[in-house]
Chains A and B, each alone.
Chain A
Amino acid sequence: MPDDRMNSYRTGPDGRGRFGDFGGRFVSETLMPLILDLEAEYERAKTDDSFWAEMDFLWKHYVGRPSPLYFAERLTERLGGAKVYMKRDELNHTGAHKINNVLGQIILARRMGKTRIIAETGAGQHGVATATVCAKFGLKCVVYMGAHDVERQAPNVFRMRLLGAEVIPVTSGRGTLKDAMNDALRDWVTNVRDTFYCIGTVAGPHPYPAMVRDFQSIIGTEAKAQMQEAEGRLPDTIIAAIGGGSNAMGLFYPFLDDPEVRIIGVEAGGKGVNEKMEHCASLTGGRPGVLHGNRTYLLQDDDGQILEGFSISAGLDYPGIGPEHAWLHDIGRAEYVAITDREALGAFTLCCETEGIIPALEPCHALAHVMKIAPELPADHIICMNMCGRGDKDIFTVAKHLGVEMSV
């Protein structure tokens, strides 16, 4: 599939931090020197064996990697078509893929002599992972979280505080993930000397999209080897949910140059991708723009003002998407589809009942798409979906949607 000119889909970004026309470094001058410092340090670390030795050690002994590749037998039977495997990143310490990336960034921060870590969080999973690793290394941790999310993700707020992090509810804008990211950037621009901004997804100014992808690629690298072991070949289709897109990029990246592997990203369709914008499907329902340091697909109005997304899942509730996904979408190497809240809830229930796994609402979007396509595919077709988070944090939301009263 890679053409002669390019030979590989894995060479991006270019020297300007671009994936095709997407990505870049759209930040204020105050932050520019910090971003260049980070890029230089990351370039050094990337080829430093001691950096990866520390990562590998902690991935194994602290996070619990490798995460299993699990054949979902009863789900496969129920769907009656393709063979469904799950990459079990919900079994990581802290319950999601987020910690894969946080470890890398915190080790970098320590190499750079930074003592204060800031992060934005939506559902709270990235905030919890950051607070966790900061506690482990004795670093000060400040997490910005939209006031609306603080309310709907109370258990994660409590977790972060238990771990010693300061959680700052963000009331600017409309108090969601996008606004939390704005306030984190405002903090960074104010505290440039001692502070490291630990971004939770494959977005933001270069080098974040590439760096976070590299740290999350452990997911795809393991899955590839594990699939070889289990089936003696690569999967036919890989599927992951997308908010900013870090778990998906982590699964996809090692497979980009395997043309026989079909790659599908699943966006949050909310109440449906319609002109009322009650969704978070940036690729399906947005257009290119510039926000938070990068050019990518954004939900925006005709005048270039950013719109709020809508999703049952706080972790997918972001009006943009990582720039590498925007590029993969435009060149057609990956497909992107949208799944509604209702469909995601259906997947939640089915996963609990057939596999004894309570999934987070984010991977339920990926699973819902598996439910759509698996029955139409032959029994020798192998699907690998990324079970990127566990659902403990979501049981209150799900109970509410199922009409169940719960008191805490």
Chain B
Amino acid sequence: MTRIDDTFARLRAEKRKAFVAYVMAGDPNYETSKQIVLGLPSAGVDVIELGLPFTDPMADGPTIQLAGARALAGGQTLEKTLDIARALRATGDQTPIVLMGYYNPIYSRGVDRFLSEAKEAGIDGLIVVDLPPEEDEELCLPAQEAGLNFIRLATPTTDDRRLPKVLTNTTGFVYYVSITGITGAAAAEASQVAPEVARIKKATDLPVIVGFGIRTPETAQAIAEVADGAVVGTAIVGKIAEGRPVNEVLDYVRTLADGAHRG
């Protein structure tokens, strides 16, 4: 059992939906980013997705691309990203942290070294966009062995034939990508998402969380009503890009969390 499993068990017992927030580690700079992450749990965030900056984020739209570029320009490294997780754990907070990004910075670090450092830093799960089930031996299986969840994306192109393959070796939760496209592009439609979530839930007992294209409290609520929770990334990162102070960003996160929790 990881902190992710514990959190979803608790939410299920409380009959509450999950709110998952994504921020890019080191955006706009290390210190501000750390303050935002430290404030996310009390803003109503159930699971933190911490973006690992990469020069070539092929699945991300302009908002998250620019956030990664700002973080890298400010000297963000994998080590400093783990430091942000360490800072949250140092406060005693047990909110699950999922590291989300691309494989090369992890591969470059060395998979075994990365896994032991991530575990020690208090990371609970990984979402690595460019590692489909066909490449499970790279990181997915070693991560599970190290006690980290490996959370897979299911997408509108994941048909029934392929779904079992995607769900095998997925742990923690399933992240359903509501649109074909990049982060922050089209708007998610609850009416289209509902049957897809139902299809996935028929094939797994894991919680199904929906992300991509959710930018308002209303959409977060509508999506949470048809799934086990909602993820917001680009909309929050956009607020950070506007240079809003930490408390304002966190107030905004709270409105989204409240929306999802009404679902």
B partners with A? yes
A interface residues (Cβ-Cβ under 8 A, vs B):
16, 24-34, 172-173, 178-179, 182, 185-186, 189-192, 289-293, 295, 298, 300, 302-306
Q: Is B162 an interface residue (CB 8 A)?
A: yes
Contact of A289 among B107, B133, B134, B185 (CB under 8 A): B107
A403 to chain B minimum Cβ distance, whole angstroms, is 35
Whether B177 contacts A30 by the Cβ 8 Å rule is yes
For residue B59, CB closer than 8 A to chain A, the reply is: yes
Residues of chain B with a CB closer than 8 A to A293's CB: 130
A172 touching B62 by the CB < 8 A rule?
yes
* Inter-subunit contact B134/A303 (CB<8 Å): no
Segment among B148-156, B198-206, B254-262 that sits at the interface with chain A: B148-156
A-B pairs with lowest CB-CB distance, top 6:
A304-B108, A304-B105, A190-B181, A30-B155, A26-B130, A306-B55
Q: When the two chains form their complex, are residues B166 and A29 in contact, meaning their CB atoms are under 8 A apart?
A: yes
Chain A's closest residue to B166 (CB) is A29
Cβ–Cβ contact B153 & A29, under 8 A: yes
How far, in angstroms, from A193 to B182 measured CA to CA in the complex? Answer: 15
Q: Is B56 an interface residue (CB 8 A)?
A: yes
> Quick one: CB contact mask for B137-157 with A, threshold 8 Å, 1 for yes?
000000000000000111111
Which of the four size classes fits the interface of chain B? Answer: 35 or more
| 11 CB < 8 A contacts A-B | A16-B134, A25-B134, A29-B157, A30-B153, A30-B181, A173-B55, A189-B182, A289-B104, A290-B107, A293-B130, A304-B54
Distance in angstroms from B113 CB to nearest chain A CB is 12
Tell me, in angstroms, the Cα distance from A306 to B72 when the chains sit together. 11
Q: Given the complex, which residues of B lie within 8 Å of A292, measured CB to CB? A: 56, 58
Which residue of chain A has the shortest Cβ distance to B81 in the bound complex?
A303
Contact of A33 among B54, B130, B131, B162 (CB under 8 A): B162
Report chain B residues within 8 Å CB of A31.
157
Least CB distance, B153 to chain A, in whole angstroms = 5
Per-position binary interface string of chain B over residues 197-234, scored 1 when its CB falls under 8 Å from any chain A CB and 0 otherwise: 00000000000000000000000000000000000000
The answer on a CB contact under 8 Å between B56 and A178 is: yes
Question: Are B108 and A192 in touch, CB under 8 angstroms?
Answer: no
User: Which residues of chain A have C-beta atoms less than 8 A from B65's C-beta?
Assistant: 172-173
Considering only CB atoms, which chain B residue lies closest to A26 in the complex?
A: B130
Q: Distance in Å from the Cβ of A320 to the closest Cβ of chain B?
A: 10
- Chain B residues near A179: list those with CB within 8 A: 56
Q: Give, as a whole number of angstroms, the nearest-CB distance from B72 to chain A.
A: 6
A29 partner, pick from B53, B102, B155, B182, beta carbons under 8 A: B155
Q: Is the CB of B154 within 8 A of A29?
A: yes
* CB neighbours of A300 from chain B (8 A): 104, 108
Residues A33 and B158 in contact, CB atoms below 8 Å apart: yes
Closest to B57 in A: A182
Beta-carbon contact of A32 and B134 below 8 Å: yes
Return chain B residues, CB-CB under 8 Å to A305. 53-55, 72, 104-105
A289 lies within 8 A of B108 (CB)? yes
- Across the interface, do A306 and B162 meet the contact criterion of CB distance under 8 Å? no
Task: Name the CB-closest residue of B to A33.
Answer: B157
Chain A nearest CB: distance from B56 CB in Å?
A: 5
Q: Is the beta-carbon distance between B56 and A306 smaller than 8 angstroms?
A: yes
B135 at the interface (CB under 8 A from A): yes
B164 CB within 8 Å of chain A: no
* B11 close to chain A: CB less than 8 A: no
User: Which residue of chain A has its CB nearest to the CB of B79?
Assistant: A303
Which single member of A186, A302, A306 contacts B59 (CB below 8 Å)? A186
Partner of A25, one of B54, B62, B135: B135
Whether B157 contacts A303 by the Cβ 8 Å rule is: no
Say whether B38 faces chain A, with CB atoms less than 8 Å apart.
no
Chain B residues within 8 Å of A182, by CB: 56-58
Any A CB within 8 A of the CB of B78: yes
Which listed residue, B55, B56, B58, B156, touches A28 by the CB 8 Å rule?
A: B58
Q: Mark B172-190, 1 if CB is under 8 A from A, else 0.
A: 0000010011100100000
Chain B residue nearest to A185 (CB atoms) is B58
B165 closest partner in A (C-beta): A32
**In the complex, what distance in Å separates the CA atom of A303 from the CA atom of B158?**
32
Decide: A28 and B130 in contact? CB cutoff 8 A: yes
Asked, given contacts A189-B181, A190-B185, A300-B108, whether A290 binds B158 with beta carbons under 8 Å apart, the answer is: no
Contact across chains for A192 and B180 when beta carbons are under 8 A apart: yes
Among A25, A29, A34, A303, contact of B105 (Cβ-Cβ < 8 Å): A303
B133: chain A residues at CB < 8 Å are 32
Q: Is the CB of B58 within 8 A of A303?
A: no
Which residues of chain A have C-beta atoms less than 8 A from B131's C-beta?
26
Asked if A28 contacts B129 (CB within 8 A), the reply is: yes
Closest Cβ of chain B: how far from A192's Cβ, in Å?
5
A303 vs B105: C-alpha distance when bound (angstroms): 6
Q: Which residue of A lies closest to B180 (CB)?
A: A192
> Are A303 and B77 within 8 A (Cβ)?
yes
What are the residues of chain A within 8 A of B72 when measuring CB–CB? 305
A303 to B101, CA, bound (A): 14
B109 touches A30 (CB 8 A): no
Point out the residues of chain A lying under 8 angstroms from B194, CB to CB. none
Chain A residues closer than 8 Å to B130, beta-carbon distance: 26-28, 290, 293
